[in-house]
Chain A
Amino acid sequence: MKITLTINGVERSLSCKPHESLRTVLRRAGYFSVRYGSDTGETGAAAVLVDGRLISADVMLAAQADGHDVKTIEGLSTVGRLHPIQEAFIETGAIQSGYSTPATILAAKALIDRNPDPTEEEVRDALSGILDRETGYLRPVHAVMRAAAVMRGDEPDDIGIAYLDPLEDGERPDTDPAQISEIAPRVVPSSDVPETRVVGHATPKVDAIKLVKGNPAFTDDIDLAGILVAKVLYSPHAHARIVSIDDSKARALPGVHAVLHHGNVTRVRYASGGQSYPNPLPYDQVSFDDKVRYVGDRVAAVAADTEEIALAALDLIDVTYDVLPAVFDENEAIAEGAPVIHDESDMEGAHDPSRNIVHHLKADTGDIEDGFAAADRIFEQTHRVHQVQQTPIEPHIAISKWDSDERLVITSSTQVPFHVRRMVAPLLGLPVKRIRIIKPRIGGGFGVKQEMLIEDIVGHLTIATGRPVRLELTREEEFVSSRTRHPQTITFKSGVDAEGRLTAQEMRITANTGAYGTHGLTVQLVSGLRGLSSYNSPVKRFDCKVAYTNIPVPGAYRGYGAPQALFALESHMEDIADALSMDPIEFRRLNWTKVGDPLDIAQKLGEGDQDASVMPIVTSSGLEEAVLQGQRAIGWERRNNPEWVQPEDRPNIRRGLGFAMAMHGTAIPGLDMGGASLKINDDGSFNLLVGATDLGTGSDTVLAQIAAEVVGVSTNDVIVYASDTDMTPFDTGAYASSTTYISGMAVKHAAEDVRAQIVARAAEILGVDAESIDLHSGAAWASDESTVTLETIALSTLHQAGQHQIMATASYVSPESPPPYAAQFAEVEVDIETGQVTVIQLVMAVDCGVPINPITSAGQVEGGMVQALGYGHCEEMAYDEEGRMVNARFGPYKIYRSDEMPRLEAILVQTMEPSGPFGAKAIAEIPKDGVAPAMRNAIANATGVRIANIPFTPERVWRALQEA
């Protein structure tokens, strides 16, 4: 049918089918800012304005919009000019991946058009339909308020960095944090941090313009002629053997170009986790198997002319299953008589597949019994953590094609393009040199894209058809068929002496890695590392069994084993303090690791090729300061006031405050490697090529800042091109909190080399010694103030004399993994009649070394805390008895939205980490670690009830209250 829409003021006549959504039709017409997040309206990534009203275009038929006025973000700005709302989003740091930013800005526009002076509550309501997994909503909400102020003609608040006085020296501070704008990044400065011009400043994101304007930048925005649509047939059974597949009817369907399954795809073993060579064992997957091991496991894939044909073809594939008994719980899976999930003869590297034990990990630093013998008291506690999903708003998507040299080009929303290239090659039967992986902008990853997940499918289909092929997971497929967080049963046993010092600490885990091993080894190693590195103990012991089960596959998820471990550890430490009648922070302080302390278990649980003879030592820690800052920010003293805990006017409410300390790693020592290349252009600008993959975190910006600092320009003069296996140096990828520290150091080294070349030519031109030259403001300056611009130097070296390209490439791998530390605080209210917990406030004070960009760092903490809040409070993958997920959509799978948020505060406590670029450590993952235990401890403060499982859903809390 034909419809007529007025799109961004221009009347357009478009063809569509009656069932097609407005999103589909707008995207086909070239409005790529209207994005896919779901088919059911709940992500809001596809929101547009219809007659000025904000509407999810995925649940509106294009036909419904016939005759109406439609606005997309493409209509808001012109080349070179931004709308005030777009400017406010950039200035406030409201953009991370930018995937849903166009929709959010349209929501703001609709609101401000009707209400020029909205309250924060009204803004939060206006944004309530656009789910954001990245920012925690704080910055987008304030961006809208700021834009409204600007549009009214008011002077907006200054967004400087708010420097807080340190508290550790015991002096009374002058600054009152309550008076500071909520979005000014709070930095507690350290006197040993040198002054810098670009690093340490809140530089706008280098990719902000394209994101804020909704320009085509994501995988889905690639439009190829003749592209086929891929769809995957997933197992309806949790455990079954495929007796037969009859694909003849599907193949006969006109428009179907390929049907692939175990009968026609070569069987090559692999592990799908995106990790360094050689990938950790076991190799227990193949592209298509004759057995399925969870509801959502792959059975077959088709490529067809259209999505409708592809879906129809899936229905025509006739599969006969022999359904087998299934097991979902990790403890039942390793018990006698459980169904054997991997009984194939060709799998490699599992510890004992006949008992579903993938790995049995053991480590100790001495005889644990000696440690327990030395204890006055021994405490033992078991906790259980559940399964959640990363849920980036952009699901997995990959497009493959043959290029003109008959090389396979796969554009993919991946965190690990270089690993994907190496790992997919053998599956496709191609040498690495015939494969190119391109990572465009990514709409969030959080670890779920640290996987070679769907690239083999599109590759196989392009090889089978000769045609470009596109595969995008639906929201439901993203839940059930991609990757999740490992559930664990965790037992801590600790010996404590009369003073409250640990004499022994033992951690035992049974972990659930689902149907496949993928990250099963390394996530659990990190659980051990984090669980047994936070506190000093003369002797430590780790024992972990990793079990196969029939649940959808756990993999990498921001935090990577640490959130599990720290929930159990920080609950355990809280309860020990309580049993000893010690202050919960005092007890921890007595035991937590400090500068100079050895991280002895790291020697035994290292993944990389680090030198095991060298004991890792804590080289920087701002934990003490972080605790004090956090205590002040949350009003910690209130927890001891019975009138506050039990408010007189609300008899069913109890209030509480909770604390958890967190300690993470910074990159995998001896393993993570990043490369960078920097070259000068005629005008004195630079191309920075990095293999690092910015998931929306702002790492491209941070890397540009590091380069800019060294060569004396602003980030406007650094053009970042990231992650294309043909074009950029290698990088292991965005995981393990490594990018700033590892890739950043590679950039710094390359830039220092470039700097030396610039200085040499500047010295020739100025006729001075190279040692006397400083680079800043786009020029070289001699000590006598004589100067030459980088443009002149570039033109000289490229065209005029002694011609050469000023450029350098460097790479970096670190022998160390300096831990960031954090103090997490939570304030809750518990309704003791219903068990409902309301989170009022979250404060995290974090020592990330020197934050290269305080505004993006604060954004990492805010957004990370909100993901962690979901883990502790409301997110869970729920199943029926047959192992089918019953809540595979947002809503039933509950993530927080803008109009129900607790107050968030991030405080950045500077320390000068000697091994990091400009003193930096990591910040990406640590915000995930402390919220669940801080909530749990706050509930204990409020009610006295100590809960061993997450999430703290109303019924769980109510039952605990009943039992108390």
Chain B
Amino acid sequence: MITEYFRPLTLEEALALASRPDAVIIAGGTSVNADAGRSGANAVDLQALGLEGVESRNGTIRIGAMTLLQDLVESDLVPDVLRNLARREAPSTIRNAATIGGTIGAMDPESELLAGLLAYGAIVTLATADSMTDHSLNDILSDPGLIGRGIMTAVTAPSTGFAAADRTGRTPMDRPIVMAVAHVSAEGASPGSVRLAMTGVAPLPVIVDSERIGDLDPPSDFRGSSEYRRRLASVLAARVLTTVGGGEQA
């Protein structure tokens, strides 16, 4: 249970607080506060650090880690596919508090936005006490320990290229059982330029090699068996790859 609340005014102060033994970072707080069993007695709220905002430069967007999901939805600078995935990430009451940095930190196994960012090859800027380093989102999701006591400050991704997403769920806005998103760089679909990411086929959103979908070993739950999810992966991958291959922005 949270016993102390801090709202640092500088990144240095925040990093110092985050390095304390039972610190818990609050970005929007919608995941942390919903988790009754959470650990961490010292809440470090990043709202006063000025980490929000979206910029676009030379075909790249830079999204401050504290940018609200709602602001992504409404930003003209953000590619449509990512805007739509931000909208699908949470309903209105949550999108106005939840942030992109918090979404990465929470690592929801079924996050469509994380899959989208993976497909776009997103880079996460991580501040630690002595450095500011860039990691690919894929590296962070593959090794969550990378975040350590650091604080995410921004996410960058290309704002160009083509992308498409598709999914299967119980209802139109449900968290999908399996979702696929593909991005191809503006230069077009040459081998290796297409990145495919999925939810529902591994414990976390992952980049998937379209040639090796049959090797996936998705976790089963009451919404979808492993076998069924593998089948969906194959169908949905084919659909999104066809769409981006055709150069459509879906």
- Interface residues of chain A, those whose CB is within 8 Å of chain B, are 1, 18-19, 21, 39-42, 44, 47, 50, 53-56, 58-61, 63-64, 66, 103, 107, 125-130, 308, 831, 833-836, 838, 873-874, 876, 878, 886-887, 891, 894, 896-897, 899-900, 951, 953-955, 958-959
Contacts and interface: CB of A to CB of B under 8 A. Distances in A.
Contact of A954 (B30, B95, B224): B224
Given A128-B173, A897-B173, A1 B5 contact: yes
Given A61-B33, A64-B29, A955-B223, A19 B2 contact: yes
Interface string B116-131: 0000000000000000
A128 B92 contact: yes
A451 B244 CA distance: 56
B2 to A, nearest CB: 4
A954 B174 CA distance: 12
Nearest to B92: A129
B91 A60 contact: no
Contacts of B96: 50, 53-55
Which 5 A/B pairs are nearest by Cβ-Cβ distance? A129-B93, A129-B91, A878-B222, A40-B34, A900-B172
Contacts of B222: 876, 878, 886-887
A39 B30 CA distance: 10
A485 B1 CA distance: 36
A60 B70 CA distance: 16
B26 interface: yes
Contacts of B36: 39
A900 B97 contact: no
Contacts of A959: 228
Given A63-B43, A878-B222, A886-B222, A894 B94 contact: no
B30 A900 contact: no
A107 B94 CA distance: 12
9 contacts: A41-B33, A42-B94, A60-B29, A61-B2, A64-B26, A129-B92, A130-B93, A874-B170, A874-B171
B211 interface: no
Contacts of B1: 19, 308
A873 B171 contact: yes
Contacts of A831: 168
B164 to A, nearest CB: 15
A723 B231 CA distance: 55
A301 B34 CA distance: 25
Nearest to A869: B171
B168 A834 contact: yes
Contact of A54 (B43, B87, B93, B224): B93
Nearest to A877: B222
B221 interface: yes
Contacts of A876: 222
Contacts of A40: 34
B224 A955 contact: yes
Contacts of A61: 2, 5, 26, 29, 33, 43, 45
A103 B174 CA distance: 22
Interface string B9-43: 00000000000000000100110011010000001
Nearest to A899: B173
A128 B224 CA distance: 25
A125 B97 contact: no
B225 interface: yes
Contact of A125 (B4, B47, B87, B172): B87
A185 to B, nearest CB: 27
Nearest to B4: A18
A63 B45 contact: yes
Given A58-B33, A107-B93, A129-B93, 15 more contacts: A19-B2, A44-B92, A59-B34, A61-B43, A127-B92, A128-B93, A831-B168, A833-B235, A873-B171, A876-B222, A899-B91, A900-B172, A953-B170, A954-B223, A958-B228
Contacts of A955: 177, 223-225, 228
Contacts of B68: 53
Interface in B209-230: 221-225, 228
A384 to B, nearest CB: 15
Contact of B5 (A18, A834, A958): A18
A54 B172 contact: no
Nearest to B71: A53
Given A64-B47, A128-B92, A891-B175, A41 B3 contact: no
Contact of A56 (B4, B94, B171): B94
Contacts of A835: 168
Contacts of A954: 168-170, 177, 223-224, 228, 232
Interface in B40-57: 43, 45, 47
Interface centre among B68, B87, B94, B232 (most CB of A within 10 A): B94
Contacts of B95: 129
Nearest to A126: B92
A44 B91 contact: yes
Given A125-B87, A894-B170, A958 B94 contact: no
Contacts of A64: 26, 29, 45, 47
Interface-centre pick from B95, B174, B224, B231 (highest chain A CB count, 10 A) = B174
B85 to A, nearest CB: 14
A874 B45 CA distance: 37
Contacts of B90: 129
B2 A55 contact: no
Contacts of A833: 235
Nearest to A107: B92
**Interface core residue of A39, A64, A897, A959 (most chain B CB under 10 Å):** A64
A873 B2 CA distance: 40
Contacts of B43: 18, 61, 63
Contacts of B175: 891
B41 to A, nearest CB: 9
A259 B52 CA distance: 49
A834 B230 CA distance: 11
> Most chain-B CB neighbours within 10 Å: which of A55, A128, A897, A958?
A55
A129 B5 contact: no
Nearest to A19: B2
A887 B29 CA distance: 22
Nearest to B229: A955
Contacts of B225: 955
B38 to A, nearest CB: 10
Contact of B172 (A53, A66, A838, A953): A838
A836 to B, nearest CB: 5
A56 B168 contact: no
Interface in B90-114: 90-97
A894 B175 CA distance: 9
B98 to A, nearest CB: 9
A44 B92 CA distance: 9
Interface string B129-173: 000000000000000000000000000000000000000111111
A40 B224 CA distance: 24
B171 A128 contact: no
A959 B227 CA distance: 11
